[in-house]
């Protein structure tokens, strides 16, 4: 398979509400992305080419029949959906060897800190509060760029990244530190909280922003 025909990013948007799908579709188009919308997590997985085993939903296999024609650079999904929630979808994507490198962004109309941290812990790149604005989508480009760069040159840095993201204790500590929402904290406070930690997390200071949504802590490895 050759390079993508355009340098445009292709986003898979998942939301059970027709209204919200229309909104996110227009937002993404306006941000120069190609969009595919689906109304459920299971349809999203189908689109990706993941077959969910009916007997055991925990077993995911890549369907031999569906060859993923379209390269997806990002998945953006609503959190609250009947059946498979956005969180469930996130987990399934991150558990799949084939698709775990696809960045996932969660959207929700509810501001629940525990929910946000759980999603970020599970590997979501960003958590957007609805209504999503055009300005929010500018945060997506860096995440999508990473996947393109990765595909172009399968770097060994990738293994390093997964090592860094896994250590148990550090992971917990990092999550607790960045748990409070940025809109409630001044950036100085955040930096004070983070600065007492290791080198890895010092690098986080640069990526933490005071916006509502923020990058996940293992973004720091891109500089390697």
Chain residues binding another protein by CB under 8 A are 17-20, 22-23, 26-27, 29-30, 109, 130-131, 133-134
Q: Give the H or E element holding residue 197.
A: none
- Of residues 51 and 130, the one with the C-beta less far from another protein: 130
- Which helix (H) or strand (E) covers residue 127, if one does? strand 126-129
Cβ at position 131, least distance to another protein in Å = 4
Among the listed residues 66, 67, 87, the one whose alpha carbon sits nearest the alpha carbon of residue 14: 87
Would you give the DSSP letter of residue 15? Answer: -
Nearer to another protein, 59 or 134 (CB): 134
| Closest CB to another protein among residues 87, 99 | 87
In 53-98, DSSP assigns E strands to 60-62, 74-78
- We find the least distance from the C-beta atom of residue 202 to another protein, in angstroms, to be 36
Cβ atoms of 152 and 170 within 8 Å: the answer is: no
Tell me how far apart the alpha carbons of residues 111 and 130 are, in angstroms, rounded to a whole number: 9
Minimum Å gap between C-beta 212 and another protein is 14
The rounded distance, in Å, linking the Cα atoms of 44 and 77 is 9
- Residues 40 and 84: beta-carbon distance below 8 Å: yes
For residue 17, the minimal CB distance to another protein (Å) is 7
For another protein, the closer CB: 31 or 117: 31
Question: Judged by CB, which is closer to another protein: 81, or 102?
Answer: 81
Give the C-alpha separation, 79 to 13, whole Å. Answer: 12
Best CA proximity match to 166, nearest among 203, 99, 121 = 121
Burial of 95 (C-beta count, 10 Å sphere; 0-12/13-18/19+): middle
Closest separation between CB of residue 135 and another protein, Å? 9
CB of 134 to another protein, least distance (A): 6
């Amino acid at each position: 398979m050759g390079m993508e025909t355009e340098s445009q990013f292709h986003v898979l948007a998942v939301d059970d509400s027709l209204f919200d799908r229309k909104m996110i579709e227009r937002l993404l188009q306006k941000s120069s992305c190609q969009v595919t919308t689906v109304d459920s997590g299971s349809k999203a997985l189908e689109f990706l080419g993941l077959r969910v085993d009916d007997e055991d939903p925990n077993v995911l296999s890549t369907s031999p029949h569906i060859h993923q024609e379209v390269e997806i650079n990002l998945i953006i999904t609503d959190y609250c959906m009947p059946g498979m929630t956005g969180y469930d979808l996130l987990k399934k994507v991150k558990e799949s060897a084939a698709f775990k490198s696809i960045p996932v962004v969660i959207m929700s109309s509810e501001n629940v800190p525990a929910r946000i941290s759980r999603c970020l812990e599970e590997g979501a790149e960003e958590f957007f509060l609805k209504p999503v604005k055009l300005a929010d989508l500018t945060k997506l480009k860096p995440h999508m760029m990473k996947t393109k760069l990765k595909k172009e040159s399968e770097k060994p840095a990738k293994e390093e990244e997964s090592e860094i993201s896994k250590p148990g204790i550090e992971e917990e500590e990092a999550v607790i530190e960045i748990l409070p929402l940025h809109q409630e904290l001044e950036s100085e406070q955040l930096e004070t909280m983070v600065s007492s930690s290791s080198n890895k997390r010092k690098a986080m200071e640069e990526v933490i922003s005071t916006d509502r949504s923020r990058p996940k802590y293992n973004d720091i490895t891109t500089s390697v």
